Amino acid sequence: MNIARPLTFYIPQHRLAIRTLACTETSSFQASSAGNRLRGLRQHFASSCDKMAPTTKQYDYIVIGGGSGGSGAARRASGWYGAKTCIIENGRSGGCCVNVGCVPKKLTYNMAQINRALRNGRHYAYDIPENTPFDFGAFVEKRDARIEALNGIYETNWANEKIELIHGKATFLSPHEIQVDMKDGSGTVTLTAPKVLIATGGYPLKPTDIKGAEYGITSDDFFSMKKLPKKYVLVGAGYIAVEMAGMLNALGVEVHMFLRQSRFLRKFDPMIQDTMTKHYEDAGVIIHKNHPGIKEVVQVQAATSESDPSSKQLKLILTDGSEFECNELLWAIGRAPEIQDLDVKRIGMELGKKGHIVVDEYQNTSIPGIYAIGDVTGQAELTPVAIAAGRKLGDRLFGPPELKDSKLNYDRIPSVVFSEPNCGATGLTEPEAIEKYGKDQIKIYHTKFRAMFYDVFSEPERSQNPTEYKVITVGKEEEIVGMHLIGDEVAEAMQAWGVVVKMGAKKRDLDSCIAIHPTSAEELVTFK
Ligand SMILES: Cc1cc2nc3c(=O)[nH]c(=O)nc-3n(C[C@H](O)[C@H](O)[C@H](O)COP(=O)(O)OP(=O)(O)OC[C@H]3O[C@@H](n4cnc5c(N)ncnc54)[C@H](O)[C@@H]3O)c2cc1C
Ligand SMILES: NC(=O)C1=CN([C@@H]2O[C@H](COP(=O)(O)OP(=O)(O)OC[C@H]3O[C@@H](n4cnc5c(N)ncnc54)[C@H](OP(=O)(O)O)[C@@H]3O)[C@@H](O)[C@H]2O)C=CC1
Ligand SMILES: N[C@@H](CCC(=O)N[C@@H](CSSC[C@H](NC(=O)CC[C@H](N)C(=O)O)C(=O)NCC(=O)O)C(=O)NCC(=O)O)C(=O)O
């Protein structure tokens, strides 16, 4: 007979209630008389101690967080070097990028682009109805199915590379002892390893000083929307606000951006700030510049369901006393490091002023044997950065001797904004270059033109879709220290330009390459 139910033993001296797993051996229970029964019970208890979920498991490498960084790091350590590795993941495998970041964003961007192309078709004499109908809810279902598949792909990848996935919430008991509160409610397990990596990412901020701020949403909630609302307010001025505003606008939503200043993307070059803000206004996004701010958010009517904000009614009381009504309010005001559950204070870990985990150039934290990568360090909050940092760390910790000094070089990291149109950058902005080298040492190459695609457009769209490039060079050799691009398909082109700038190309290298005509990118090798 199998004892199918779990048995619980209480061991006073350990103050532990240890759940034993279902045991299959029953002989130690049945065969003995009373005296033997006790022996049998002791034997059974001893043997079941071996079989119960071990309260402490040991690894070479514990990775906290199964997002881009944690996955990249664990796969390098285990898949390449055979380190006994586990990933502790409290949410869905793949982390922010797969579940509420890059993947759902890019798929939604692609859908919005199709709608934009349909609208543009009439300039190329397509007889396409003004508002071609689409089923946003059906699209969301397809998108969510892909994400679910990705969750599985990640877990399959990890299993194939002998990485143990432990679903639960990790907390430090001591520098190399992690307690996991198991997601299946089966209690806790304790893991130990000489090397522990923190890759717990970040979370989107909501204001704490605005009454009713909780009635607004963040990018994490954005993707649960299955029905487009009529009127959408976005507060914030970075990547997320600009990407989401562009997508919603392309999908026919009335979009309002509340900016604290007069431009968005203010961490980018002034050219991108100026041209993109103007382009968004020309494309119909209503930008409230130097906005007085929101004093209170009143929920006039709750949404009938989380996925349908079209029924939601919010009234925004602004600091100047005026009021503004909308269906949805998205806070896109930045992200903070996800360290709450880790209890890193218990182990005395050094944190930056915004709570990011402080690391050196080798991703070492202030505690020996504990490392951190990705958004939780705030170094450069991008998926490929998290992955690359994790891979380099794996090379250094578990790779061959020649890789013992591996570390990620954070200079000249390219990135793009999936805006309308795209914009992308690598290296220094013009103000940064002037600050670093002095105005007299730098040379700016700039061009702004209408891409041929728009030549057959009628006004005003014909002149509203700028393509604009800026290349910043320094010194006599004219090394390229910054490249800033605006235009359709810049997101795809930027990878190659990122390599060009990363390898230290000079202006003469651009001039030496024959142009590809007719393309927009040819303007980068034919600067006057
Ligand atoms: C809307 C949006 C769009 C984006 N678009 C892009 C883009 O186009 N390109 C790009 O490069 N980047 C993009 N990013 C940024 C990118 O998603 C992040 O830089 C990247 O996911 C960071 O990876 P990470 O491994 O540091 O953290 P994450 O991917 O966030 O992974 C951290 C994981 O740790 C888990 N975790 C946290 N605490 C614990 C704990 N105590 N115990 C167990 N598990 C825990 C979390 O559940 C999570 O799964 C976007 C971000 C957002 C929000
Ligand atoms: N395509 C990509 O690669 C993407 C990357 N990401 C990553 O995720 C990170 C987070 O993105 P995001 O959330 O947009 O954050 P960002 O930090 O990029 O931008 C947030 C902006 O909102 C404004 N802001 C800050 N606080 C407030 C406030 N209280 N009220 C109003 N506005 C405020 C600030 O601009 P200002 O000072 O001008 O007001 C700030 O720059 C990005 O930095 C990027 O690394 C995210 C999406 C896409
Ligand atoms: N990058 C191409 C392919 C798309 C792609 O890379 N999709 C990923 C999800 S993107 S979001 C997930 C993200 N993947 C990547 O960023 C892959 C980038 C490049 N292939 C690399 O290996 O570095 C990540 O977190 N990686 C951590 C890890 O792989 O351990 C995927 O399908 N992955 C399934 C698989 O890899 O089999 C594109 O954008 O079209």
Question: Which has more confidence, 33 or 10?
Answer: 33
Ligand 3 contact, 105 CB (< 6 A): no
User: 181-188 long-range contacts, Cβ below 8 Å, gap at least 24?
Assistant: 183/90, 186/19, 186/53, 187/19, 187/53, 188/55
Which ligand has the nearest atom to the CA of 341? 1
Question: In this predicted structure, what is the pLDDT of residue 28?
Answer: 38
Query: From atom 19 of ligand 2, which residue's Cα is the shortest distance away?
Result: 238
Banded model confidence at residue 353, pLDDT cuts 50, 70, 90: very high
**CA 95 to ligand 3: nearest atom:** 25
Q: Which of 30-44, 441-455, 465-479 has the lowest average pLDDT?
A: 30-44
CA distance 250 to 110: 11
Ligand 2 contact, 293 CB (< 6 A): no
Question: Which has more confidence, 101 or 20?
Answer: 101
- The residue-averaged pLDDT of 481-501 equals 97
CA distance 490 to 414: 12
Distance 236 CA to ligand 2 centre (A): 6
Ligand 1 contact, 155 CB (< 6 A): no
Banded model confidence at residue 35, pLDDT cuts 50, 70, 90: low
The annotated binding site is made up of 106, 236-243, 334, 375
Ligand 2 contact, 287 CB (< 6 A): no
- The residue-averaged pLDDT of 341-345 equals 96
Whether 167 is catalytic is no
**CA 207 to ligand 2: nearest atom:** 29
HSE on the CB side for 433, CA within 13 Å?
A: 28
Question: In this predicted structure, what is the pLDDT of residue 38?
Answer: 54
Distance 70 CA to ligand 1 centre (A): 10
**CA 106 to ligand 3: nearest atom:** 39
Average pLDDT of the residues of the chain = 91
Q: Is 50 exceeded by the pLDDT of residue 49? A: no
Banded model confidence at residue 139, pLDDT cuts 50, 70, 90: very high
- In tens, the pLDDT along 403-422 reads 999 999 999 999 999 999 99
The annotated binding site for NAD(+) is made up of 236-243, 334
Q: Which of 25-39, 75-89, 191-205, 495-509 has the lowest average pLDDT?
A: 25-39
Distance 376 CA to ligand 1 centre (A): 9
Question: In this predicted structure, what is the pLDDT of residue 130?
Answer: 85
Ligand 1 contact, 102 CB (< 6 A): yes
CA distance 377 to 338: 10
Cβ contacts of 188 within 8 Å, gap of 6 or more: 55, 168, 179, 180, 181, 182
Question: In this predicted structure, what is the pLDDT of residue 53?
Answer: 54
- The residue-averaged pLDDT of 497-507 equals 98
Which ligand has the nearest atom to the CA of 146? 3
Distance 208 CA to ligand 3 centre (A): 35
Instruction: Judge whether 247 and 253 are in contact, CB under 8 Å.
Output: no
- The residue-averaged pLDDT of 290-298 equals 97
- In tens, the pLDDT along 367-398 reads 999 999 999 999 999 999 999 999 999 999 99
Residue 247 has phi, psi (to 5 degrees) of -65, -50
Question: In this predicted structure, what is the pLDDT of residue 68?
Answer: 98
Q: Is 80 exceeded by the pLDDT of residue 8? A: no
Buried b or exposed e, range 433-453, using 16+ CB within 10 angstroms: bbeebeeeebeebeeeeebeb
Task: Name the active-site residue from 167, 176, 279, 517.
Answer: 517
Query: From atom 25 of ligand 1, which residue's Cα is the shortest distance away?
Result: 69
- The residue-averaged pLDDT of 315-344 equals 97
Pocket test for ligand 3, best of 154, 157, 373, 416 (most atoms within 8 A of CB): 154
Query: From atom 32 of ligand 2, which residue's Cα is the shortest distance away?
Result: 236
Ligand 2 contact, 261 CB (< 6 A): yes
**CA 387 to ligand 3: nearest atom:** 27
Query: From atom 48 of ligand 2, which residue's Cα is the shortest distance away?
Result: 239
Question: In this predicted structure, what is the pLDDT of residue 39?
Answer: 56
For residue 325, the tally of other CB atoms under 10 A from its CB is 12
Question: In this predicted structure, what is the pLDDT of residue 309?
Answer: 87
Ligand 2 contact, 335 CB (< 6 A): yes
Banded model confidence at residue 45, pLDDT cuts 50, 70, 90: low
- The residue-averaged pLDDT of 50-55 equals 54
Q: Is 50 exceeded by the pLDDT of residue 235? A: yes
